[in-house]
């Protein structure tokens, strides 16, 4: 690397633009550059991203397990072992005994190849990805309402002009800090409305006239949204012309919210009736139909990771449609995609029910199209599999082997202790990673792969912008790209289908496979993106589509669908032995399972471990003290963490971040949304108490033994 390389941050879907500069002695350093999403800003994770490239425990050769221990191996030995074990297991148990868990951080090229490889080289239906835990609720609701799923159907910069923004379940000030600048216009107008049971850093932006913080009982977001719509209907502030000409199904939705008046809503959600009225009218005043400057409704994981998450997003979309927002200037509904390629990762075949281009794997026409691109008969493409939670639940029983790419389920999935036990019971666990994550340390075979600055490819931002990821330096000797590894394994498994290994050629194949699908990349190529580093899909004649829905929605009749929903309850009710809600989330310093950020000294020092936030009244009642350890117990397990006494949480609610092994996801439930398979990561019922002397002594003994 002699010249600076333009690329994008490897972390969240904001995809902040960066430049990589060579440093003496090898490696690179990161500097931000101006781009519409970050405008020259970076968070501390982005600034320190290059340090993970030099992690002391970076994987630089394969490992295989012998006599219970992982030992170094050659690539030929490792891949030969994998192929032999897969052939043996499938001969005994059938094709579907092998599963694949992908990741929302893989490039589009790798996500596409992984789906193709699973279905043709392994011949299995059992593939899904960790985006199931991030985006599936919003995707299901978006497809149902609009006929298409693009997280933000408008550029991020459009949010700047909105006079009001309803932000549901997303702490962007910690999770994607450069995004906060796009909320400045709404804050100046006093129109930022943040819905969160915790007074997060984002909720704090509403102070001093910036807007409203609505702090509902965990699990009641959907009720709150339905109540906001009730206020609009009752006060005659619905955009009747828009609803009549551009949507269908409104009357049923209006009837469904008739009994959710603000005073009743207050008893259900804990949000005072005057605040509900005020929030509804802030949004209505900003809507174009009432002469406002524009309004946005944005959702994140806090309202989506529930057993009724897809219905909660449907309620958010209903609210936006009633106000006539989608397709209007500085207005609309959008989902804040989390993972770096969360958008592209769900479009090209990693999901259990999808083929490239967001095509349904059960659609004969879609199957025939993709099969022709792959050069196989349609019958050679397996049918739909199962969502990730069910896939992991089958491990050790009907699923005997699992390949994991770009995911760390030991930390990131609900009921993590049970998942860990299931992974241990597999006959074969193969993990491709760049560092020895907690999941990799359980594997039978570990394969070292490149990081973001060492690879070519594309990712798709939360706005639907397809971006070039450019290679700035070579990976360490001994590291092989997944595209090469999957092609090698396909050959060893006797698959006659060709697997491209050059990213540009893979993208060209992806583009053909996606042509005509909901996520159509057929107008794109690496060459086009080299000339102009970002284009919004779909692209025709080199011109992208930054804004969807201006004239019509993606359903055949061009109309958006209202979808009536009725509020449900969380999977777990509070009970005498678990009388407190636990909500989970992220902290500023860390990303997802923390496998990368926990290896950056500055980030690890800033946030060295998990904790639990407790309201002062609850702490006093239970004898909990700031800085002292407490036991938090759910029906699934117990964790011991230090207490942080703070008024940021409700008196009936605890907050715990999930970036560390043995923390929040030991406690969470794997109950799922029946529509989309999203697990209820965001709320469960727990007990909290001071650490007992006996457990403290046991912990000390365990520490000594370790």
pLDDT digits (tens, 9 = 90+) for 482-520: 999 999 999 999 999 999 999 999 999 999 999 999 999
Distance CA 692, CA 148 (A): 52
In this predicted structure, what is the pLDDT of residue 695?
A: 61
Q: Say which CATH number the domain at 656 has.
A: 2.40.40.20
609, 613, 686 from 642: Cα distances, Å: 9, 9, 16
Residues 179, 297 within the same domain: yes
397 within some domain: yes
Distance CA 676, CA 679 (A): 9
Residues 625, 675 within the same domain: yes
Distance CA 316, CA 320 (A): 6
C-alpha neighbours within 13 Å on the C-beta side of residue 173: 13
Residues 254, 321 within the same domain: yes
Please give the DSSP secondary-structure letter assigned to residue 548.
-
In this predicted structure, what is the pLDDT of residue 220?
A: 97
63 within some domain: no
Instruction: Write out the residue range of the structural domain in which residue 687 sits.
Output: 580-705
Residues 328, 440 within the same domain: no
Residues 329, 347 within the same domain: no
Work out the number of other CB atoms within 10 angstroms of the CB of residue 310.
26
Residues 147, 113 within the same domain: no
Number of domains comprising the chain: 3
Residues 119, 179 within the same domain: no
56 within some domain: no
319, 336, 353: which is the final residue of a domain?
A: 336
Distance CA 152, CA 607 (A): 31
Q: Say which CATH number the domain at 267 has.
A: 3.40.228.10
Residues 279, 357 within the same domain: no
In this predicted structure, what is the pLDDT of residue 705?
A: 34
62 within some domain: no
In this predicted structure, what is the pLDDT of residue 531?
A: 78
Please give the DSSP secondary-structure letter assigned to residue 406.
S
206 within some domain: yes
Residues 607, 665 within the same domain: yes
Residues 97, 205 within the same domain: no
Q: What are phi and psi of 297, to 5 degrees?
A: -120, 120
In this predicted structure, what is the pLDDT of residue 321?
A: 98
Q: For 48-57, what is each residue's pLDDT tens digit?
A: 999 999 999 9
531 within some domain: yes
Mean pLDDT by 10 residues, the chain (706 residues): 88 96 90 95 97 95 97 98 98 98 97 98 98 92 97 96 97 97 97 97 96 97 97 98 98 96 95 97 97 97 96 98 98 93 94 96 97 98 98 98 97 97 98 97 98 96 95 96 98 97 98 97 95 89 96 97 93 96 97 96 97 98 98 98 98 98 97 96 97 61 39
Nearest Cα to Cα of residue 591 among 469, 412, 398: 412
In this predicted structure, what is the pLDDT of residue 706?
A: 35
84 within some domain: yes
Residues 507, 615 within the same domain: no
278 within some domain: yes
């Amino acid at each position: 690397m002699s010249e600076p390389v333009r690329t994008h941050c490897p972390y969240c879907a904001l995809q902040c633009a960066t430049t990589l500069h060579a440093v003496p002695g090898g490696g690179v350093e990161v500097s931000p550059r101006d781009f519409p999403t970050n405008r020259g800003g970076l968070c501390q994770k982005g600034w320190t991203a290059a340090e993970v490239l030099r992690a002391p425990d970076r994987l630089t050769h394969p490992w295989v397990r012998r006599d219970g221990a992982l030992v170094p191996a050659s690539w030929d030995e490792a891949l030969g072992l994998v192929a032999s074990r897969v052939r043996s297991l499938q001969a005994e148990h059938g094709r579907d005994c092998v599963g694949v868990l992908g990741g929302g951080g893989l490039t589009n090229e790798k996500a596409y190849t992984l789906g193709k490889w699973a279905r043709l080289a392994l011949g299995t239906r059992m593939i899904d990805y960790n985006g199931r835990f991030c985006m599936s609720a919003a995707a299901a609701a978006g497809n149902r309402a609009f006929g298409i799923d693009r997280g933000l159907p408008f550029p991020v910069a459009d949010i700047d002009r909105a006079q009001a923004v309803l932000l549901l379940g997303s702490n962007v000030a910690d999770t994607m800090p450069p995004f906060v600048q796009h909320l400045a216009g709404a804050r100046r107008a006093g129109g930022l409305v943040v819905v969160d049971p915790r007074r997060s850093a984002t909720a704090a932006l509403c102070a001093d006239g910036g807007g409203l913080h609505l702090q509902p009982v965990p699990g009641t977001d959907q009720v709150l949204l339905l109540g906001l719509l009730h206020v609009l209907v009752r006060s005659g502030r619905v955009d009747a012309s828009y609803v009549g000409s551009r949507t269908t199904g409104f009357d049923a939705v209006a009837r469904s919210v008739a009994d959710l008046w603000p005073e009743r809503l207050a008893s259900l959600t804990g949000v005072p009736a005057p605040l509900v009225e005020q929030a509804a009218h802030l949004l209505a005043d900003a809507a174009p139909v009432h002469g406002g400057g524009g309004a946005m409704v944005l959702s994140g994981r806090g309202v989506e990771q529930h057993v009724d998450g897809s219905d909660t997003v449907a309620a958010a979309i209903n609210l936006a449609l009633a106000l006539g927002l989608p397709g209007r200037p500085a207005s609309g509904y959008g989902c804040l995609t989390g993972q770096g390629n969360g958008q592209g990762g769900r479009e090209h075949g990693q999901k259990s029910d999808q083929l490239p281009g967001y095509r349904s794997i059960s659609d004969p026409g879609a199957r025939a199209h993709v099969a022709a691109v792959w050069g196989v008969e349609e019958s050679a493409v397996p049918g739909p599999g199962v969502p990730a939670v069910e896939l992991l639940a089958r491990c050790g029983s009907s699923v005997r082997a699992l390949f994991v790419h770009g995911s760390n389920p030991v930390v990131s999935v609900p009921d993590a202790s049970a998942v860990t036990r299931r992974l241990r019971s597999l006959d074969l666990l193969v993990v491709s990673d760049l560092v020895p994550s907690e999941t990799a340390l359980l594997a039978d075979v570990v394969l070292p792969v490149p990081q973001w600055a060492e690879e070519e490819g594309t990712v798709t931002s939360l706005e639907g912008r397809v971006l070039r990821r450019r290679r700035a330096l070579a990976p360490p000797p001994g590291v092989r790209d997944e595209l090469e590894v999957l092609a090698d394994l396909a050959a060893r498994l006797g698959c006659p289908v060709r697997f491209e290994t050059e990213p540009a050629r893979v993208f060209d194949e992806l583009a053909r496979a996606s042509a005509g699908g909901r996520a159509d990349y057929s107008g794109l190529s690496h060459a086009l993106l080299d000339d102009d580093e970002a284009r919004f899909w779909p692209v025709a004649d080199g011109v992208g589509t930054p804004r969807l829905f201006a004239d019509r929605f993606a359903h055949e009749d061009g109309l958006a669908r209202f979808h009536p929903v009725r509020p449900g309850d969380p999977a777990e009710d509070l009970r005498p032995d678990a009388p407190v809600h636990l909500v989970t989330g992220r902290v500023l310093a860390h990303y997802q399972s923390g496998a990368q950020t926990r290896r950056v000294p500055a980030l690890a020092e800033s946030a060295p471990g998990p904790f639990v936030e407790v309201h002062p009244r609850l702490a006093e009642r239970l004898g909990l003290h700031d800085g002292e350890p407490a036991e938090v117990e759910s029906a699934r397990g117990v964790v011991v963490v230090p207490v942080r006494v703070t008024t940021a949480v409700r008196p009936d609610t605890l907050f715990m971040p999930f970036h560390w092994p043995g923390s929040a996801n030991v406690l969470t439930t794997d109950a799922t949304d029946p529509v989309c398979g999203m697990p209820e990561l965001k709320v469960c019922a727990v007990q909290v108490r001071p650490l007992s002397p006996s457990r403290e002594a046991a912990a000390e003994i365990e520490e000594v033994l370790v």
